[in-house]
Amino acid sequence: MSKPILADCTPVILAGGLGNRLRSVVSDRPKVLAEVNQKPFLTYLLEQLHRAGFRKTVLCTGYLGEHIEKNFGSRYKHLALFYSQETRPLGTAGALRLALPLVQTKSAIILNGDSFCGASLDKFYFHYQKRKVSAAIILAHVSDARRFGKVFVDAQGRVLHFLEKDKKEGSGWINAGIYLVKKELLRSIPSGGPVSLEKQLFPQWIQQGIYGHQSRARFMDIGTAESYNCADNFFSPKK
Residue 54 burial (CB count, 10 A): 23
What average pLDDT score do residues 169-192 get?
93
CA 105 – CA 9 distance, rounded (Å): 5
What average pLDDT score do residues 109-136 get?
95
Residue 106 burial (CB count, 10 A): 12
Q: In Å, how far are 16, 33, 84, 157 from 134, measured between CA atoms?
A: 25, 31, 24, 14
Q: What percent of the chain has pLDDT over 90?
A: 74
The answer to whether residue 22 scores a pLDDT higher than 80 is: no
Note whether 26 and 42 are within 8 A (CB): no
CATH number of 8-235: 3.90.550.10
In tens, the pLDDT along 202-213 reads 999 998 899 999
Please give the pLDDT value at position 1.
41
Note whether 186 and 108 are within 8 A (CB): yes
Note the pTM of the prediction, 2 decimals. Answer: 0.94
> 135: closest CA among 204, 47, 199, 193?
204
In tens, the pLDDT along 26-83 reads 777 888 999 999 999 999 999 999 999 999 999 999 988 999 999 999 999 999 999 9
